[in-house]
């Protein structure tokens, strides 16, 4: 199943993408988080009428996530390309909802910097409440997976030891185009190719098997500190090939088109514009 959201009467509603149509999810599951929780509980969703996808305004596949938890340095080759040791504990930071954009919307190079970098990442969507969950039980809390571009304003990211500012400029985090449910992918989304294309050229070409901390481990670590709830998102790190590590560095500029592709999930495509 591929979950999307669409705009109806000024509110984002959940739907299921089927070929060129979106099948609306019937009440009482009026929000995406409610629909996710219901699916995890019942294994199905009440479906309404299909609508042509081209006639709808599609948005973030999870429009209002309660938490957007991001993981840094979670691929071995990416840690090495930056001259960083392999960590014993993941670097964890948060993103704000105002930084997110859906598939097709422009990534924004801010006025303050010209060093906006791309980062292909696998997004994990939590489907059931998790608090102090054991690693062996963690995957039972996963609803599905999506693509994410963790756009990073590198000079601001390095202004201090905390990465939050550089990771939270408006319009720098692309998410979508849909959520693919976990049953359609290998457990823990292991051994999936993940890549970035910039104007058609492959810039990152990695595999989720290179993750230092598995999806199950990340859920166990995060839930030790905070309660994970349906609709929360964990962004799981990027493979090697990012722009700042290249010689010369490559940063996004107006007129570019950046694509994030993950095997079995799909392709997230965004143009780039100046603020």
Q: Residue 178: which of 209, 219, 147, 213 has the closest Cα?
A: 147
Residue 166, pLDDT score: 97
Residue 84, pLDDT score: 87
Residue 47, pLDDT score: 85
How confident is the prediction for the chain on average, in pLDDT? 96
- Give the tokens for residue 182: 């976990």
pTM score, two decimals?
Answer: 0.96
40 conformational bin, left if phi > 0, alpha if psi -120 to 50, beta if neither: alpha
Do residues 152 and 117 touch, judged by C-beta distance below 8 A? yes
Residue 156's pLDDT band (boundaries 50, 70, 90)?
very high
- Give the tokens for residue 240: 């090697």
Span 25-79, pLDDT tens digits: 986 777 899 999 999 999 888 888 899 999 999 999 999 999 999 999 999 989 8
DSSP character for 157?
Answer: H
* All residues at 6 or more sequence positions from 55 whose CB lies less than 8 Å from its CB, including other chains: none
Burial of 67 (0-12, 13-18, 19+ CB in 10 A): middle
Domains (range + CATH), the chain: 2-55 (no CATH), 68-274 (3.90.850.10)
- 100-102 and 91-94 beta bridge pairing: unpaired
First to last CA, the chain: 35
């Amino acid at each position: 199943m591929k979950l999307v959201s669409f705009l109806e009467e000024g509110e984002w509603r959940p739907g299921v993408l089927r070929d060129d149509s979106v099948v609306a999810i019937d009440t009482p599951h009026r929000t995406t988080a409610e629909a996710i929780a219901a699916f995890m509980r019942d294994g199905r969703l009440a479906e309404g009428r299909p609508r042509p996808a081209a006639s709808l305004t599609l948005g973030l596949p999870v429009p209002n996530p309660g938490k957007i938890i991001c993981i840094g340095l979670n691929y071995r080759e990416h840690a090495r390309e930056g001259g960083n040791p392999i960590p014993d504990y993941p670097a964890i930071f948060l993103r704000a909802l105002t930084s997110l954009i859906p598939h097709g919307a422009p990534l924004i190079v801010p006025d303050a910097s010209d060093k906006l970098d791309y980062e292909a990442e696998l997004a994990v969507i939590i489907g059931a409440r998790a608090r102090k969950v054991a690693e062996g039980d963690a995957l039972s809390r996963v609803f599905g997976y999506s693509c994410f571009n963790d756009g990073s304003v590198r000079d601001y990211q390095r202004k201090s030891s905390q990465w939050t500012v550089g990771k939270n400029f408006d319009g720098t985090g692309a998410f979508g185009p849909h959520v693919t449910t976990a049953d359609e992918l290998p457990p823990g989304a292991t051994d999936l190719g993940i890549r970035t294309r910039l104007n058609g050229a492959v810039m990152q070409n990695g595999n989720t098997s290179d993750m230092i901390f598995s999806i199950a481990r990340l859920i166990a670590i995060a839930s030790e500190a905070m309660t994970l709830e349906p609709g929360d998102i964990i962004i799981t790190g990027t493979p090697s090939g990012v722009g700042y590590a290249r010689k010369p560095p490559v940063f996004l500029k107006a007129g570019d088109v950046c694509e994030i592709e993950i095997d079995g999930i799909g392709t997230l495509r965004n143009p780039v514009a100046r603020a």
